[in-house]
Structure 1
């Protein structure tokens, strides 16, 4: 809802409060003001001028040389290309030095050799939206009425010296879809009175009942219909002030009759419709449900096929309007209209919503009917419109109205105690204070001891129960004035569980290592469901899948991460590193909910390091990803409990993959994606891992032990072992650590040789072993003794011999 600040001042005294201050107060009372727009912001130097002479430009067919009087007695020459510019017009002139929207500054110029000292403006050039400019001026300049004073501020004459508040209304606040509704709200906030429009209609001796009869077959959809007849109407443009109020609210002006009906819609929140009486085709209005297959051409020149769900206004035979949504082209008010049949009706929201939805037509009228209009404003709105039609269209209102009234609406009556109000709000209000707040909203109240009985006006259909009254008291008392209290009883501050803390550490570590978090679908296809799964289970199918690609619940995170890499690679993002923490879904029993287990997976491809100046490039490999994993295990305090073992799995490279164990329990895998899969996905070498995050984070961490910095020197021994090619480095390391005893502190591989000089089926692996004792300096004899045990154990358990 767009609310003109100047218009609102007609109903509520806003002296001493700026639009911005008012917007803040309205927002704090419960209706969000999404913005305040100053219509003439950034525009200056635009005045009303008079075109005293016009002649064709000698060097341009589409340009005219105009002599313009700006009201100071002197003429200025302005070149204008508008097709409708002419002698004798009063127009908006941006003088030299003026500023237009977009900080466009007007300077002296020459156009095809002729001097131009300003610009004659269209409404669009003055900041009007094109869709809100009247059809007569949608192309070309705007022409002021003949009585407009020369030299005055053109924006003030156009009533653009205004601010517009944009209200973000929730569906329950239909009452504020009108200026009067907003006025009631603002008056309650500011503790001021509402000044309602004074309606006095003079009628002629003829009676409306002699011109029209009204019948309603669909009484449930239309319990109240009011028709008035206005004769001798003269179609013309609306007054500028009325056009300005419509455009400020986002409605395009048409002519005085249509504009007045739209004006009342904005003022009262009551939609009206004007029919050309002479084009109606009969002296009858019949409201009914449409016949199946019946057709109507609406005002937008679209032919629409109707069903029995749609409510229509007919002339007794054919539809002349889609009730509450849009009128028909066969009864449209046009330039030749002289007699107007004015409709003001109460339609139920459900009937209008159905028509609006089925035909894709959402009008200002339908939006209000759908949320609910005030039944008590149906007649006053019609009278107010009739008054304006006499003033601004020269109409003569026939005596009386023709009505069908089966409407039964009673104001809601709610009784509430002051104790409940205070208990819910946490306040200590007196009965008189609560009564005063409710009366500021124009609610009728009766107090008996601690009870307040409230009669809610029909315009506030959202208030039906005690809690609604509590909300009204609370928001007008001021949410900022409500005390902050903790819930009663035992309360404790929220915190993360140990599992959540560790998961957060995992995410922070991986992001610090250069991986981006991905969030992928939990649904996959049957073909991909079991790829890379840690546990072999049958996938769980959806009863109603949206597609074959999203038909089963996933058993692994890896396939979708590979899809992410493929997507990025196809867009020339070759180096990608991503991870995901998410659930996989394991079948338990038929027709039972699956078991959800949280996994951690990652995928990397492309270059890991690129230093172009130094000419360094490091592509990802198995050990890059393994190093990331080992850093994660170290961060979690689990590195000493982790081992890797050779591993083969479908979809992984048979020689570059490993199973990950935590205390001899398998928790996942790491490896290169099989070359065939890489080719299928059009990826370079790609490495992945997937782990059971639950097993990892629920693992017991050994107590942290601190060791003093060594005071005594260590001794290092390097050995090169010849072993079978099938023997893994992990197996050798395990034997060395077990045999080395207390003195062996560190073991690591530093070389692998499988060259021509090595016996077939053999390989050489070199280790560096570090010995030291924190209590004394080791002797050669101590080291030799421990080292010999290592060599003997290696020979006995693995067949390893020292390389000669």
Structure 2
């Protein structure tokens, strides 16, 4: 619902409260204000101009030279390309120095050799959406009324200096789908009164009953129907104030009569419909269910086939409107219309919703009928519309109205007690406090000691039980004023478990490394279920699967991550980095629930780093992914417990896959997808990992310990070892660490070489060894002894020789 601040001000005295302050108060009372639009804040120097002369541009057939009076002395020349510009018009002019929406600046310029001192504007250029601009001005400039004064503020004239509040209404607050309803809500919040406009007009001596009769056959769908007749109407454009009210509310102006019915819809929340009496086809209105196969061409010029589920307004023989949704083209108000048949009725929400859904027609009227309207406004809305038609279209309102009325509205009374109000809200409100709130809401009530009987107005049909009233009291009292207390009991206030904290660390590390979190289905196909599984098990099948692709519970997260990579690459997103934390399901046998185990998996491909300015590109490879995991293990304080060893898995590249071991137990793997599987998924060079997150995060680690910055220097030795091709760097590193003793602090591989300078079948692996004692400076002799032990162990256990 779009609410005009200036229009609301005509109902409620808003005083000095700003639109922003009002929006905050409304939001705090339970109706969210989703936004505030003030078009004029971005615009200036927009005035009314009077076009004195117009001639064709000498150098361009589609441009015009206009001499425009801006109310500042000498008229100025403006070049305009609008096809509808003409001498004598009052138009909107953006002067040099003006700003338009989109931060467009207007300045003096030359267009095809002719000077232009500003711009004559269309409504779209002033920030109105094209769908709300009157059709006559959809393709050109907007022409103002002839009484507009040259040089005056055009923004004020067009109501662009208004603030529009967008209310996000929940279904239970349909009462605020009207200015009337929003006024009552605002008045309750501010503690003010509501001023409702009066409907004054002089009736004709002729009676409405002489012109029309009303028969309702579908009484359950339409318990109340009223009709008025207004003669001698002159169809024309609405006054500017009415057009701008509608446009600010998102409705396109048409003509004075149709615009009045839309205006009342916004003001009262009561849909109305105006028929051309002379095109109606008879002197009787019959409301009934449509016959099967019956057809109606609606106002949007679409022929619609009806069914017995749809309620229609007929002239006794054929449908002229789809009740509560849209009128028919055969009785549409047109420029030559002189007599209006005005409908105001109560249609039940279910029958309107059915027709709206079946025909894909959701109108402003149907949305209100679906949620419910106030039955007490049906007559008031009709009288208000008749008064405006008499005033703005010169109409002569016939005496009385014709109606069918079987609507029974049971008064709703809700009984509440002060003690229960305070118990429910946790407050200490007095009886006077509650009475004051009910007065602000304008709910009549009666007191019996501490018992309160509240009469609910028909405009608030959402209130049915005592709990509804407790909520109303809380809203107006102010949610901010409700006391806050901590839960009481044996348990203290909750917090994250150690496992949950570690899981957050996992997300933070991976997201910090540039890997995006994905969420995929827990269900997969029989063909994919065993791919990449860390633990082999019988798949758990669903008794009633949605489809073959989602028939079993997954054993690995990687297949669906590969689907996501494939989906991205098919859309030219070549650089993809994804991870997922999710469950896999291991069978415990037939008839027993499977074991649910949390895993962490990832899939990376393309460029990991791309800095064109520095000419730096890093393609994802095995060591990129391994490096991310090592950073994760370090953050979890597991790095000293982790090692890698060569591994083979179905679907993984045999030469670029490694098991990840935690305390010598396999907890995952990392590696490259096998080329045959890459072809299956239509991907290239994808590296993946999968880890048993349960095992990692449940592992006990010692408390984090800090040490002083060392006072004594370390010593390093580099060694290059000649070993068999099958010997891994991990095996050599383990031997080095075991033999190095207390003095060896670090061993890092910095080079691996295979080539013509090394014997066939062998390779060179180079390490940097760091020796350190925090309590003293090491001597060459001490380091030499430790170094010799390492070399001896390497020779004995790995047949490694120093490379010369």
Same-fold status (TM-score > 0.5) = yes
Q: Evaluate the alpha carbon distance shift between residue 670 and residue 431 of structure 1 in structure 2; reply closer, same or farther with a 3 A threshold.
A: same
Say whether residues 1:140 and 2:104 are aligned partners: no
Q: Which residue of 2 aligns with 1:390?
A: 390
**Paired residues of 1:12 and 1:192 also in contact (CA < 8 A):** yes
Deviation for aligned residue 1:451: 1.1
Alignment of 1:35-434 (within 5 A): 35-57=35-57, 60-70=60-70, 75-95=75-95, 99-104=99-104, 106-108=106-108, 116-434=116-434
Residue 253 of structure 2 aligns to a residue whose secondary structure is: coil
Instruction: Give, in whole Å, the separation in 2 of the partners of 1:61 and 1:574.
Output: 50
What's the CA shift for 1:295?
1.3
Q: What is the match of residue 599 of structure 2?
A: 599
- Give the corresponding residue for 2:528: 528
SS of structure 2 residue aligned to 1:375: coil
> Aligned partners of 1:609, 1:244: CA distance in 2, in Å?
54
The answer for the alignment partner of 2:501 in structure 1 is 501
Shift of 1:449: 1.0
2:431 matched to 1:438? no
Question: What is the CA–CA distance in structure 1 between the aligned matches of 2:9 and 2:707, rounded to whole Å?
Answer: 80
Contact 2:743 2:786 in 1 (8 A): no
Tell me, in whole angstroms, the C-alpha distance in 2 between the residues paired with 1:343 and 1:234.
19
Distance 2:282 2:302 in 1: 23
Question: Could you tell me which residue of structure 2 aligns to residue 30 of structure 1?
Answer: 30
Q: Give the match's secondary structure for 1:352.
A: helix
- TM-superposed CA distance for 1:701, in Å, is 3.7
SS at match of 1:183: helix
**Greater displacement, 653-662 / 340-349:** 653-662
| Rounded Cα–Cα distance in structure 2 between residues aligned with 1:141 and 1:614 | 51
Q: Is the 8 A contact 1:410 1:458 kept in 2?
A: no
2:20 alignment partner in structure 1 = 20
Q: Which moved more, 1:327-336 or 1:627-636?
A: 627-636
Asked whether the equivalents of residues 416 and 451 of structure 1 are also in contact (C-alpha less than 8 Å), the reply is: yes
Deviations 1:242-266 (A, max 9, x none): 2222222121111111111111111
Contact 2:720/2:764 (8 A) holds in 1: no
Separation in structure 2 between the aligned mates of residue 90 and residue 711 of structure 1, nearest angstrom = 89
Partner of 1:8: 8
Q: Please say if 1:466 is aligned against 2:466.
A: yes
The alpha-carbon distance between structure 1 residues 710 and 641, as it changes in their structure 2 partners (threshold 3 A), is farther
Q: For residues 22-56 of structure 1, what are the alpha-carbon distances to aligned partners after superposition, in whole Å with 9 as ceiling and x for unaligned?
A: 22322222222233333444444444454455555
Distance 2:602 2:595 in 1: 22
What are the ranges of 5 or more consecutive residues in structure 1 without an aligned counterpart? none
Matching residue of 1:585: 585
Quick check: 247-256 or 43-52, which moved more? Answer: 43-52
Q: How many Å separate the matches in 1 of 2:329 and 2:191?
A: 46
**C-alpha displacement of 1:448:** 1.2
Shift in Å at residue 549 of structure 1? 4.6
Greater radius of gyration (CA): 1
The change in CA–CA distance for 1:345 and 1:535 in structure 2 (over 3 A counts) is: same
- In structure 2, what is the equivalent of residue 660 of structure 1? 660
Pair 1:697–1:335, CA change in 2 (3 A): same
Q: Deviations over 1:625-674 (max 9, x none)?
A: 55554554454444554454443221123344333343443322333433
Could you tell me how far apart the structure 2 residues matched to 1:768 and 1:55 are? 88
Distance 2:123 2:685 in 1: 62
TM-score of the pair, normalised by structure 2: 0.86
Secondary structure at the aligned position of 2:413 is classed as strand
CA distance in 1, matches of 2:729, 2:189: 79
CA contact (8 A) 2:65 2:78 kept: yes
Gaps of 5+ in 2: none
**2:732/2:798 contact within 8 Å kept:** no
- Counterpart CA distance in 2 for 1:782 and 1:616 is 40
- Post-superposition offset of 1:300: 0.6
Q: Which is further off, 324-333 or 98-107?
A: 98-107
Tell me whether 440-449 or 120-129 shows the greater mean CA deviation. 120-129
C-alpha deviation, 1:311, in angstroms: 1.3
| Residue 507 (structure 1) shift | 3.6
How far apart, in 2, do the equivalents of 1:559 and 1:631 lie?
25
Give the secondary structure class of the aligned counterpart of 1:312.
strand
Alignment match, 2:556: 556
Q: Which whole-Å deviations, capped at 9, do the CAs of 1:292-344 have from their partners, x for residues lacking one?
A: 22211100111111222211111112111011111000010111211111110
SS of equivalent residue, structure 1 residue 667: strand
Instruction: Measure, in 1, the Cα distance between the counterparts of 2:722 and 2:665.
Output: 29
* In 1: Cα distance, 2:127 partner to 2:609 partner: 53
Deviation at 1:539, TM superposition (A): 3.1
